[in-house]
Amino acid sequence: MTQPTAEATVLEPTAALTVETVNSVHHWNDRLFSFKITRPASFRFRSGEFIMIGLMGDNGRPLLRAYSVASPSWDEELEFLSIKVQDGPLTSRLQKIQPGDQIYLGRKPVGTLVTDALLPGKRLFFFSTGTGLAPFMSLARDPDVYSMFDQVICVHGVRQVSDLAYREMLEARLAEDPLVGEDAVDKFHYVPTVTREDFHTKGRIGDIIESGRLFEGLEGDAKLNPETDRIMLCGSMDMIKGQAHYLESIGFTEGSNSKPGDFVIERAFVD
């Protein structure tokens, strides 16, 4: 069994936080990493929700940030995707975690990137940039999503090809998933797009919508239609604001947990 790192602090649970153990860490490149931690037996969440996680701060208090859960709701572990910010109060330290280290986990997951906040539809689009992909990694492995929609389209916009975290899984291995594999083969579409390097799909999300590239190989309209399409947005503030404005301009209505609509935004955080 891997031992905690030497500088690791022994954490104590609180009324709002449990203490979990890091099981594994994967560094995608020098900007992105993901990690898996133990999951409390009592922890329940809806695919797409986020939770507070963190480490002990220098002031002796928990230093916490909101992170979307990247693992499906049925998984025995909890997975998270993070950027590396060298001078970031939390991520400068979080990127150094190793298996065996302890980490704080909030007890109450929340969020609006859930199917409960959407009206019924035929196509479900995930529009993500950077680490905004995380909640969609959870939703893409949720059997309920495939029972609700005829097509599930995951769009991931990044600057460089190496930023396409989970690319191999989304391109091929999702078909091997024990719960959604059969549905994924028929219904799931992965659309990675890159802005700063040569790639088979180039441009921002708005560019591939406008050009029609997004709709190649899909059933239905070669445009976004509020009658049939439902959309979830997570990522950079520029992308979210731009796409939300565009969607509203063509007749889409934003939804919430209390009033489902045509598209939803995670307003709690951005890249």
- The predicted-structure confidence for 39-91, as pLDDT tens digits, reads as follows 999 999 999 999 999 999 999 999 999 999 999 999 999 999 999 998 999 99
Using alpha carbons only, what angle is made at residue 99 by residues 95 and 105, rounded to the nearest 5 degrees?
70
Closest listed residue to residue 231, CA positions, set 112, 111, 114, 125:
125
Report the share of the chain in percent with pLDDT over 90.
89
For residue 10, the number of C-alpha atoms closer than 13 Å in the C-beta half-sphere is: 0
Q: At residue 158, does pLDDT exceed 60?
A: yes
Q: Please tell me the predicted confidence (pLDDT) of residue 138.
A: 97
Q: Please tell me the predicted confidence (pLDDT) of residue 52.
A: 97
Q: Please tell me the predicted confidence (pLDDT) of residue 48.
A: 97
Report the DSSP beta bridge partners of residue 164.
none
Q: Please tell me the predicted confidence (pLDDT) of residue 6.
A: 39
Q: Please tell me the predicted confidence (pLDDT) of residue 3.
A: 53
Q: Please tell me the predicted confidence (pLDDT) of residue 175.
A: 83
Report the share of the chain in percent with pLDDT over 70.
95
Q: Residue-wise over 44-70: b if at least 16 C-beta within 10 A, else e?
A: ebbbbbbbbbbbbeeeeebebbebbbb
For tokens 């709709």, name the residue.
Answer: 215
Q: Please tell me the predicted confidence (pLDDT) of residue 8.
A: 56
Q: Is 231 helix (H, G, I), strand (E, B) or coil?
A: strand
Q: Please tell me the predicted confidence (pLDDT) of residue 101.
A: 97
Alpha-carbon span 269 to 45, nearest angstrom: 18
CA 187, 191, 192, 198 torsion-angle sign: positive
Q: At residue 7, does pLDDT exceed 60?
A: no
Q: At residue 267, does pLDDT exceed 80?
A: no
Instruction: Grade residue 178 by pLDDT with cuts at 50, 70 and 90.
Output: confident
Q: Please tell me the predicted confidence (pLDDT) of residue 269.
A: 55
For tokens 């059997």, name the residue.
Answer: 143
Q: Is 184 helix (H, G, I), strand (E, B) or coil?
A: helix
For 258, the enclosing helix (H) or strand (E) is none
CA 196, 84, 95, 44 torsion-angle sign: negative
Backbone angles phi, psi at 21, to 5 degrees: -110, 135
Query: What mean pLDDT comes out for the span 159-175?
Result: 93
Instruction: Grade residue 270 by pLDDT with cuts at 50, 70 and 90.
Output: very low
Q: At residue 17, does pLDDT exceed 60?
A: yes
Alpha helices in 157-236 (DSSP H): 167-171, 181-187, 205-211
Q: Please tell me the predicted confidence (pLDDT) of residue 266.
A: 83
